[in-house]
């Protein structure tokens, strides 16, 4: 058993650990340290709870012992099993486990009742008939002593009788309470005859209608600790004044030697958010957040969905430390911890948020070459690369072009050169605009001698990212920012509430983004750095293999403090995802420059189709607007459904994949009908082929009109979805990288994506990625 912190030689112990270390040196707890994390199940846990989780579960790991997970469920009006299950997920996700020590205060109701009877018999508790308002009035103030209730001197017999009748449900809510008899003039107002029980005729989520008499937190808390054998009851500072009452209850029940002791530490308060469960519930219920896991919220489930890792949260808790004085933590520190973790786990890939087409006029039209592109920069000790397809038509980000560049602009401009990341230097020769004068295309030339080399006789200062027009994968990107515009929205200007400081720019939805195709072969939980943009990962709720959605986890650097515009303090709009662009006339699909907000069609037959798609089929309004914009497209979609394909899957493939391939052509010009397209979607939807293989099949269908099942058979594209077939491939990959296997087993678990990628490459992308991820992880952990 340890008697000091593992970091004792390097860093002084905080005051909590000093207390525990001293107790262990004295042999006060020979069976080890016993702590507990005791949330009330009335909301989702947040980043503030994470600090308490790390401390309470961390102490027994350091000094020997155990930590209990106990739900202090004494308020039936606000508690729910949903919150219990969410808290258990969060604690496990942070890397901690309570083993067999899962407890509920509601299981102790009978014992707590018996102890209350014990105090009544000892003349230390009484039934009071005062109302809530009267009790508050009689309590006095910090400067004025309270006065005794006229019911304080009831006899023990009367108190026992009334308390039993309270238990039986003979009185209405609030009609009577049980109070401890301590001292109405005590300088600590918590000791002025505090409430122990109140009447609530409300069903409890675990105990049902067994009880209508519920213990107050202060009465249940310490006694629950004692029942479980807790040694160190660690609370946040708001319970500092409660400690005296905690001790009074235990001492007057006869716990004088081997009993728990309460210690308080400063809670974690984070800038630009709120920690109150009540306020978070308001944001969820009033539609300012999409749910408890909305990635803008400070809940642990939201941070998990956004892409934060458990290691980053634990690192933040360690950096903040354990103190006796409350303070606020800058949001930048949290972001720094997240970046520090992702830097070594997130391979670098290319993604274009706002595509602008580039045509290389001097590059052969029918040529495609591949560049070897490393996943990692030189300062990250990881290995791995992928091959990037390069052809005549590319997309760059619209922000990387300026027709009239400002001074110091080192990206693309007319007559100006720039290097494409991992590729050649190009020069912009001509700017193509549409009828509205908007830039829709750039005609450029490339320097064939600049692949991996500097151009002769001139210096190119800028490097920009790009994707191949023929190979890039459409995706949706969600750019998350801080939820509030003020560091402490709880303390705003007079007359304003915390909601007045909601940030209306806390999320930007980017549809029509393009990402390099290598991501389709990676494990779904692999984070990336989209070069020059930030860190991202697939949204675990909304992203699908054939309709990728990426969340921005964190930007590459803090830009908040450098925003030119003043903070906006008006109320933010309610949570709503931005609509997908409306389809162009004639069954055609628009280019990004032509995209318009979606609308319900005016024509009666198309409007009826729109209503059927959104109502009967449950499609998103944006998808329905695209699919019902033309009668030919409606027929094409219905033919796909008639073939047996799922409506949402067909909508995703039509709007996200087919639209990008046919580039404005009508579906009536395709060499296949909707039924054949539906067969393709079924192949992907049922797992017969992977999504990348589905795109390959679609390309052949567009070229030759072939039956998709025949293409799959001819090209051998069937997905490998059985463990026996994948086992030798996985064994071969693991054997080829023994140093990386050792690194993974030593704790570098972020390398899982590397191994999955190698297996996917070995199978030509045919393996089921989810199955590969599970089998690879099992193989790595067997050692």
Q: pLDDT tens for residues 373-396?
A: 999 998 888 889 999 999 999 999
Q: Which residues are catalytic?
A: 40, 267, 277
Question: 443 - beta bridge partners?
Answer: 359, 430
Reading the block at residue 78, the tokens are 């606000």
Higher confidence at residue 262 or residue 10?
Answer: 262
Query: Minimal CA–CA distance to 589: which of 485, 662, 643?
Result: 662
Instruction: Summarize pLDDT for 281-325 with one digit per residue, the tens.
Output: 999 999 999 999 999 999 999 999 999 999 999 999 999 999 888
Instruction: Find the mean pLDDT for residues 508-522.
Output: 94
* pLDDT score of 588: 41
pLDDT band at residue 560 using 50, 70 and 90 as cut-offs = very low
Return the biggest CA–CA distance within the chain: 103
| Alpha-carbon distances of 719 from 714, 734, 766, rounded to whole Å | 14, 21, 5
Instruction: Find the mean pLDDT for residues 136-157.
Output: 95
pLDDT band at residue 5 using 50, 70 and 90 as cut-offs = very low
Cα–Cα distance, 20 to 603 (Å, whole number): 75
In the predicted model, is pLDDT for residue 563 greater than 80? no
Cα–Cα distance, 19 to 372 (Å, whole number): 57
The CA-CA-CA angle for residues 83, 84, 90, to 5°, reads: 85
Cα–Cα distance, 581 to 590 (Å, whole number): 8
pLDDT band at residue 761 using 50, 70 and 90 as cut-offs = low
2 and 59 in contact (C-beta within 8 Å)?
A: no
* pLDDT score of 169: 96
* pLDDT score of 324: 86
Expressed in angstroms, the distance from the first to the final Cα of the chain is: 27
Q: Whole-model pTM?
A: 0.70
Phi, psi of 488 (to 5 degrees): -130, 85
Query: Minimal CA–CA distance to 46: which of 330, 353, 270, 288?
Result: 270
Cα–Cα distance, 94 to 525 (Å, whole number): 16
Instruction: Find the mean pLDDT for residues 703-719.
Output: 87
Question: 376 - beta bridge partners?
Answer: none
| Alpha-carbon distances of 756 from 452, 730, 737, rounded to whole Å | 29, 9, 13
* pLDDT score of 440: 96
Instruction: Find the mean pLDDT for residues 387-410.
Output: 94
Instruction: Find the mean pLDDT for residues 529-545.
Output: 96
The CA-CA-CA angle for residues 532, 536, 540, to 5°, reads: 165
Q: How does strand 269-270 pair with strand 328-329?
A: parallel
Task: Give the highest mean pLDDT range of 303-312, 561-570, 612-621, 625-634.
Answer: 303-312
Reading the block at residue 250, the tokens are 């235990």
Consecutive H or E run containing 71: strand 65-71
Name the least confident of 271-285, 391-405, 706-720. Answer: 706-720
Name the least confident of 42-56, 675-689, 731-745, 767-781. Answer: 767-781
Name the least confident of 158-162, 672-676, 771-775. Answer: 771-775
Instruction: Find the mean pLDDT for residues 229-237.
Output: 94
Cα–Cα distance, 412 to 477 (Å, whole number): 24
Question: 464 - beta bridge partners?
Answer: 420
Task: Give the highest mean pLDDT range of 24-28, 133-137, 718-722.
Answer: 133-137
Instruction: Summarize pLDDT for 735-759 with one digit per residue, the tens.
Output: 888 888 887 787 766 456 567 667 7
Instruction: Summarize pLDDT for 89-112 with one digit per residue, the tens.
Output: 999 999 999 999 999 999 999 999
Query: Minimal CA–CA distance to 281: which of 578, 69, 85, 46?
Result: 46
Cα–Cα distance, 522 to 755 (Å, whole number): 9
Reading the block at residue 447, the tokens are 């320097």
| Mean pLDDT, all residues of the chain | 87
| Alpha-carbon distances of 234 from 24, 38, 240, 247, 328, rounded to whole Å | 16, 10, 10, 14, 20
* pLDDT score of 716: 82
């Amino acid at each position: 058993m340890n008697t000091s912190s593992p970091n004792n030689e390097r860093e002084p112990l905080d005051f909590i650990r000093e207390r525990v270390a001293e107790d262990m040196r004295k042999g006060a707890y020979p069976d080890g340290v016993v702590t507990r994390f005791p949330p009330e199940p009335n909301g989702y846990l947040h980043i503030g709870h994470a600090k308490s989780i790390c401390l309470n579960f961390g102490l027994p790991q350091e000094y020997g012992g155990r930590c209990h997970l106990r739900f202090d469920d004494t308020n039936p009006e606000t508690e729910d099993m949903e919150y219990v299950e969410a808290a258990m997920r969060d604690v496990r996700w942070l890397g901690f486990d309570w083993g067999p020590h899962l407890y509920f205060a509601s299981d102790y109701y009978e014992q707590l009742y018996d102890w209350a009877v014990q105090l009544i018999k000892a003349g230390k508790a009484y039934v009071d008939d005062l109302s809530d308002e009267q009790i508050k009035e009689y309590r006095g103030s910090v400067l004025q002593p309270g006065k005794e209730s006229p019911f304080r001197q009831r006899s023990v017999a009367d108190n026992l009788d009334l308390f039993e009748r309270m238990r039986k449900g003979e009185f209405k809510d609030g009609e009577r309470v049980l109070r401890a008899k301590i001292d109405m003039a005590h300088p600590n107002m918590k000791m002025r005859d505090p409430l122990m029980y109140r009447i609530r005729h409300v069903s409890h989520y675990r105990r049902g209608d067994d009880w209508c008499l519920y213990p107050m937190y202060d009465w249940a808390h310490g006694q629950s600790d004692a029942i479980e054998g807790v040694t160190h009851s660690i609370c946040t500072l708001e319970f500092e004044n409660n400690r005296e009452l905690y001790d009074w209850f235990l001492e007057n029940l006869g716990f004088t030697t081997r009993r728990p002791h309460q210690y308080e530490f400063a809670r974690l308060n984070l800038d630009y958010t709120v920690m109150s469960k009540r306020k978070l519930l308001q944001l969820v219920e009033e539609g300012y957040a999409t749910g408890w896991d909305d990635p803008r919220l400070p809940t642990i489930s939201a941070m998990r969905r956004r892409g934060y890792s458990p290691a980053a949260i634990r690192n933040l808790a360690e950096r903040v430390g354990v103190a006796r004085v409350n303070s606020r933590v800058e949001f930048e520190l949290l972001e720094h911890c997240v970046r520090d973790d992702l830097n070594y786990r997130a391979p670098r890939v290319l993604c274009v948020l706002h595509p602008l087409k580039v045509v290389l006029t001097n590059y052969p039209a029918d040529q495609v070459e591949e560049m070897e592109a490393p996943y990692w920069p030189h300062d990250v000790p990881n290995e791995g690369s992928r091959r990037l397809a390069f052809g005549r038509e590319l997309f760059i980000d619209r922000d990387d072009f300026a027709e009239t560049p400002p001074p110091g602009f080192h990206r693309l401009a007319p007559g100006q050169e720039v290097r494409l990341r991992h590729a050649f230097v190009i020069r912009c020769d001509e700017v193509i605009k549409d009828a509205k004068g908007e830039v829709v295309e750039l005609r450029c030339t490339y320097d064939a001698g600049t692949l991996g080399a500097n151009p002769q006789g001139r210096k190119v200062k800028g490097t920009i990212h790009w994707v191949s027009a023929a190979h890039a994968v459409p995706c949706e990107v969600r750019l998350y920012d801080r939820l509030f515009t003020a560091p402490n929205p709880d303390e705003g200007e007079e007359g304003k509430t915390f909601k007045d400081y909601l940030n209306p720019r806390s999320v930007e939805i980017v549809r029509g983004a393009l990402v390099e195709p290598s991501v389709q072969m990676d494990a779904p939980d692999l984070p990336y750095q989209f070069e020059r943009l930030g860190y991202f990962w697939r949204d675990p709720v909304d992203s699908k293999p054939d309709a990728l959605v990426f969340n921005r986890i964190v930007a590459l650097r803090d830009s908040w403090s450098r925003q030119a515009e003043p903070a906006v303090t008006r109320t933010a709009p309610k949570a709503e995802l931005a609509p997908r662009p409306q389809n162009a006339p004639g069954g055609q699909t628009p280019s990004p420059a032509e995209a318009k907000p979606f609308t319900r069609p005016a024509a009666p037959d198309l409007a009826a189709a729109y209503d059927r798609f959104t109502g009967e089929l449950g499609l998103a309004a944006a998808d329905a607007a695209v699919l019902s914009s033309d009668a030919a497209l409606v027929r094409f979609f219905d033919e796909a459904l008639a073939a047996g394909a799922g409506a949402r899957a067909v909508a995703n493939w039509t709007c996200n994949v087919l639209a990008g391939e046919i580039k404005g052509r009508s579906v009536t010009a395709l060499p296949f009908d909707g039924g054949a397209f539906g067969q393709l979607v079924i192949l992907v939807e049922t797992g017969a082929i992977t999504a990348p293989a589905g795109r390959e099949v679609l390309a052949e269908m567009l070229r030759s009109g072939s039956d998709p099942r025949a293409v799959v058979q001819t090209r051998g594209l069937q997905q490998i979805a059985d463990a026996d077939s994948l086992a030798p491939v996985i064994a071969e990959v693991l054997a080829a990288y023994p140093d990386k296997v050792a690194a993974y087993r030593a704790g570098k678990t972020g390398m899982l994506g590397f191994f999955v990628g190698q297996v996917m490459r070995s199978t030509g992308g045919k393996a089921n990625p989810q199955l590969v991820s599970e089998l690879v992880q099992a193989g790595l952990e067997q050692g």
